[in-house]
Amino acid sequence: DVKVTQSSRYLVKRTGEKVFLECVQDMDHENMFWYRQDPGLGLRLIYFSYDVKMKEKGDIPEGYSVSREKKERFSLILESASTNQTSMYLCASSSGLAGLQGEQYFGPGTRLTVT
Protein backbone atom coordinates (compact mmCIF):
# COMPACT_ATOMS: atom_id res chain seq x y z
CA ASP A 1 0.00 0.00 0.00
CA VAL A 2 1.48 3.28 -1.13
CA LYS A 3 2.08 5.70 1.64
CA VAL A 4 2.75 9.37 1.20
CA THR A 5 3.32 11.30 4.37
CA GLN A 6 3.59 15.01 4.99
CA SER A 7 5.44 16.48 7.92
CA SER A 8 2.60 18.56 9.36
CA ARG A 9 -1.19 18.56 9.15
CA TYR A 10 -1.53 22.14 10.33
CA LEU A 11 1.00 24.95 10.29
CA VAL A 12 0.74 28.60 11.27
CA LYS A 13 3.49 30.96 10.19
CA ARG A 14 4.06 34.69 10.15
CA THR A 15 4.49 36.81 7.06
CA GLY A 16 8.11 36.81 5.93
CA GLU A 17 9.06 33.53 7.57
CA LYS A 18 10.79 30.79 5.63
CA VAL A 19 8.59 27.70 5.58
CA PHE A 20 9.53 24.11 4.84
CA LEU A 21 6.97 21.48 3.92
CA GLU A 22 8.27 17.94 3.76
CA CYS A 23 6.90 14.97 1.88
CA VAL A 24 8.05 11.37 1.97
CA GLN A 25 6.87 8.42 -0.11
CA ASP A 26 7.74 4.78 0.46
CA MET A 27 7.02 3.24 -2.95
CA ASP A 28 10.23 4.11 -4.78
CA HIS A 29 8.27 6.39 -7.12
CA GLU A 30 10.19 8.46 -9.62
CA ASN A 31 7.73 11.34 -9.79
CA MET A 32 6.74 13.66 -6.99
CA PHE A 33 4.47 16.69 -7.04
CA TRP A 34 3.43 19.65 -4.93
CA TYR A 35 -0.04 21.14 -5.40
CA ARG A 36 -2.05 23.73 -3.63
CA GLN A 37 -5.76 23.17 -3.22
CA ASP A 38 -8.06 26.17 -2.91
CA PRO A 39 -11.88 26.25 -2.94
CA GLY A 40 -13.20 27.02 -6.38
CA LEU A 41 -9.75 26.72 -7.96
CA GLY A 42 -9.19 22.99 -7.70
CA LEU A 43 -5.64 21.64 -7.59
CA ARG A 44 -2.87 23.69 -9.09
CA LEU A 45 0.59 22.30 -9.68
CA ILE A 46 3.39 24.23 -8.02
CA TYR A 47 6.41 22.06 -8.83
CA PHE A 48 7.13 18.61 -10.14
CA SER A 49 10.18 16.35 -9.87
CA TYR A 50 10.80 13.32 -12.05
CA ASP A 51 14.11 12.30 -10.52
CA VAL A 52 16.53 13.14 -7.76
CA LYS A 53 17.78 16.70 -8.11
CA MET A 54 15.48 17.27 -11.10
CA LYS A 55 12.59 19.69 -10.96
CA GLU A 56 10.18 21.43 -13.26
CA LYS A 57 7.98 24.41 -12.65
CA GLY A 58 4.28 23.87 -12.56
CA ASP A 59 1.52 26.38 -13.13
CA ILE A 60 2.12 28.58 -10.08
CA PRO A 61 5.79 28.37 -9.02
CA GLU A 62 6.20 32.02 -8.01
CA GLY A 63 7.17 32.39 -4.37
CA TYR A 64 8.08 28.70 -4.02
CA SER A 65 11.11 26.52 -4.48
CA VAL A 66 11.67 22.78 -4.08
CA SER A 67 14.38 20.34 -3.19
CA ARG A 68 14.76 16.67 -3.97
CA GLU A 69 18.02 15.31 -2.62
CA LYS A 70 16.73 11.77 -2.10
CA LYS A 71 14.29 9.80 -4.17
CA GLU A 72 11.76 9.39 -1.39
CA ARG A 73 11.73 12.98 -0.18
CA PHE A 74 10.43 16.15 -1.83
CA SER A 75 10.46 19.43 0.01
CA LEU A 76 8.52 22.60 -0.74
CA ILE A 77 10.02 25.85 0.45
CA LEU A 78 8.31 29.17 0.85
CA GLU A 79 11.22 31.59 0.89
CA SER A 80 9.25 34.43 2.46
CA ALA A 81 5.71 33.46 3.36
CA SER A 82 2.90 35.78 2.41
CA THR A 83 -0.77 35.78 3.35
CA ASN A 84 -1.79 34.78 -0.17
CA GLN A 85 0.07 31.52 0.36
CA THR A 86 -2.45 30.47 2.99
CA SER A 87 -3.78 27.25 1.52
CA MET A 88 -3.95 23.46 1.67
CA TYR A 89 -0.77 21.94 0.26
CA LEU A 90 -0.88 18.43 -1.18
CA CYS A 91 2.05 16.25 -2.02
CA ALA A 92 1.71 13.35 -4.45
CA SER A 93 3.86 10.69 -6.04
CA SER A 94 3.56 8.41 -9.03
CA SER A 95 5.50 5.72 -10.82
CA GLY A 96 7.43 6.63 -13.94
CA LEU A 97 6.47 3.38 -15.65
CA ALA A 98 4.54 3.57 -18.88
CA GLY A 99 0.86 2.93 -18.36
CA LEU A 100 0.90 4.22 -14.81
CA GLN A 101 1.00 7.88 -15.65
CA GLY A 102 -1.82 9.73 -14.03
CA GLU A 103 -2.11 7.36 -11.09
CA GLN A 104 -0.97 9.69 -8.36
CA TYR A 105 -0.93 8.89 -4.65
CA PHE A 106 -1.59 11.79 -2.35
CA GLY A 107 -0.52 12.73 1.13
CA PRO A 108 -3.01 13.92 3.75
CA GLY A 109 -2.24 17.57 3.12
CA THR A 110 -0.79 20.43 5.14
CA ARG A 111 -3.07 23.32 5.94
CA LEU A 112 -0.83 26.34 6.09
CA THR A 113 -2.01 29.63 7.52
CA VAL A 114 0.17 32.70 7.10
CA THR A 115 -0.72 35.58 9.41
10 is a site residue for other proteins (CB under 8 A):
no
82 vs 100 by CB, closer to other proteins: 100
Pick from 76, 61, 69: which is nearest to 18 by CA? 76
CA–CA separation, 75 and 66 (whole Å): 5
Q: CB of 35 within 8 A of CB of 45?
A: yes
17 is a site residue for other proteins (CB under 8 A):
no
33 vs 64 by CB, closer to other proteins: 33
103 is a site residue for other proteins (CB under 8 A):
yes
51 is a site residue for other proteins (CB under 8 A):
no
